[in-house]
Structure 1
Amino acid sequence: MKEMPNNFQREVKDHWYVKYNEMPFPSIQKGWVLPVDRWAEFDPFILMAEDWFKKGTFPDHPHRGFQTVTYVIDGRLEHIDNAGGRDILEPGDVQYMNAGWAARHAEDGVEDDIAHTLQLWLNLPKDKKNTETTYQNVYSEDAPVVSFDGGSVKVFSGDVAGVQGPMKSIVPITLTEITLAKGDEYHLEFPENHNAFLYVLAGDLDAGTTKLNLRKHGVATLTFNDEDDAKGNSELYLRSNKRQTKVLVYSGAPIRETIVPYGPFVMNTMEEIKQAYRDFHEGKFGPPAI
């Protein structure tokens, strides 16, 4: 009987620790998990910011040409959009937004809370930058959890660990939250042709077969199989070195298009950026989100 080929083994390609800067009130502190100038390397991901902020930091503002995935670490986050949407997200909840052709929304702390969030910007292919604007809240309790000895994996997006995450992004991605007890291991499987990175929310872990050590606030980009016929799964080895380690793993297939991230817009050319600003100032994004 022919043996099945082994999964592609993921290794750490690059790693760093997030550096934080104090910000003017009502913002408090910001750090770049994925720095803004390395989008070509992170494709399809553009950037990821970690923010601590209070009410009034991110009032009504526009977006076009990309998607956001916002994970609430602590505090409460209020979402308001100009299509009538309004909701409050709690720690462990995720909000997905397809800005598409014209999003206008606000993201704020609630009452006296300090909201602590991770916001990922996820590119859209050129032929999907004019899609309809949509929002989806994925509450922590609605994401399926698969338990194993010493830990669990929660699946927000993608087909992972035999379950399907509820998030429905236009460009399919996987997003998992993995919790491990000290000394326990997990082999995360996800598509081998996805570019991927991880972020350590808490604890201390070893990643990849080389067992590179990462602590809280550590980020690692991962190797992937970029061959045209790569359609199988990959495997990422993780081992916890502390009482409880929590890590987020994101993956997505590269889009391989040149983009221009400028202000609140992500388009393919500078002329398209200028058009987005003209459309916003001419009222084509609709009324304010209040």
Structure 2
Amino acid sequence: MKQNQTDERLEREVADHWYVKYEEMNFPAIQKGWVLPADRFEEFDPFILMAEDWFKKGTFPDHPHRGFQTVTYVMDGRLEHIDNSGGRDILEPGDMQYMNAGWAARHAEDGVEDDIAHTLQLWVNLPQNKRNTDTIYQNVYAEQAPVVEINGGRVKVFAGSLAGVKGPLNSIVPLTISEITLEKDAEYVHKLPETHNAFVYVLSGEAAIGKNQVTMKKHGTGLLSFNKEGNKENPSDLAIKSHHRRTKLLVYSGEPIQEKIIPYGPFVMNSMEEIKQAYQDFKNGKFGPPAV
């Protein structure tokens, strides 16, 4: 991995890449794919997994979470969120929801009426000393995310400070989330903190990504190189060149937490004892009433 010196900047490479494989599910779920496979979370730190789902009403009724965060991006259809603190809203394509499950979240996520909801849900780890934080929900509607026009495209910023603007999503741990759209042959250099672990997911089109110019098409995920021992104030460069008339991709980055974790069912904790305690607390009603 290239190390920063005073006169050079880290140029990100695609360290690994793959294409999402999908499987049909039992109705009312329709189809699922793993953008970030759940069994490789050590490599993705602070990210745990990302699921791409197509589903109808009744797939994700009332359920609990503890110890992590989610970021849900609506690609198509409508998604209704209901939580047991009185929150209720409908998200549409291009909208994003952030949830800090913290010590005890209980909610439902469902398609609306006869819609097929198509979503990307990312699970983000919490450091051990923040697992007992308050539960937070924040909706970021598509029109609330600032858009920066660039040569041959645009960058929409949901979280973090990127391209001279700051995204509205406020996470417990430092994240950047952006949606980049490019015309054919357009080139763009996206800047990320060099210490952030990061990945890209191609929503449409085709692009050459990174210093090593790995070509990726729709449904492609690319895990990027980064500098673990660097300075979080130093930027790094991610080169992107579009090979399609309409290339769109998402870029996520976050500071690694570097703690042992155990993802188990709807919980993410640091030990099996804590997982068992989470199940017991839910059984004993400590997560509150159902989300209805």
- Taking structure 1 as the reference length, what is the TM-score of the superposition? 0.98
Instruction: Compute the RMSD of aligned alpha carbons.
Output: 1.0
The residue that corresponds to 1:69 in the other structure is: 71
* Whole-Å separation in 2 of the counterparts to 1:229 and 1:19: 36
> What does the per-residue CA deviation read over 1:59-107, in whole Å, with 9 as the maximum and x for residues that have no partner?
0000000000000000000000000000000100000000000000000
**What is the alpha-carbon distance in structure 2 between the residues aligned to residue 230 and residue 109 of structure 1?**
39
Q: How does 1:59-98 map to 2 (within 5 A)?
A: 59-98=61-100
Which residue of 2 is the match for residue 43 of structure 1?
A: 45
Residue correspondences, number? 288
- Correspondence list, 1:51-200, <5 A: 51-200=53-202
Amino acid at match of 1:186: Y
Residue 6 of structure 1: CA displacement?
A: 3.1
| C-alpha separation in 2, matches of 1:210 and 1:276 | 44
Q: Secondary structure at the match of 1:9?
A: coil
Runs (5+) with no aligned partner, structure 1: none
Aligned partner of 1:33 among 28, 32, 35 = 35
Distance (whole Å) between structure 1 residues aligned to residue 178 and residue 82 of structure 2: 26
Give the conservation status (yes or no) of the 8 Å contact 2:72–2:98.
Answer: yes
Name the % identity.
Answer: 70
8 Å CA contact retained: 2:12, 2:210:
yes
The ranges of structure 1 where at least 4 consecutive aligned residues each deviate by more than 6 angstroms after the TM superposition are: none
Q: Matched residues in 1 for 2:151 and 2:40: separation?
A: 37
Between the aligned partners of 2:134 and 2:232, the Cα distance in structure 1 is 31
For the pair 1:280 / 2:278, whether they are aligned, the reply is no
Question: 1:190 offset after TM fit, Å?
Answer: 1.1
Match of residue 265 from structure 2: 263
Distance 1:56 1:122, change over 3 A: same
Question: Residue 228 of structure 1: CA displacement?
Answer: 5.1
Q: TM-score, normalised by structure 2?
A: 0.97
Tell whether the 8 Å contact from 2:194 to 2:231 is kept in structure 1 after alignment. no
Amino acid at match of 2:94: G
Write the distance in 1 (CA, Å) between the matches of 2:198 and 2:230.
17
**Any unmatched runs of 5+ in structure 2?**
none
> What secondary structure, in the 3-state scheme, does the structure 1 residue paired with 2:137 have?
strand
1:152, distance to aligned residue in structure 2 (A) = 0.2
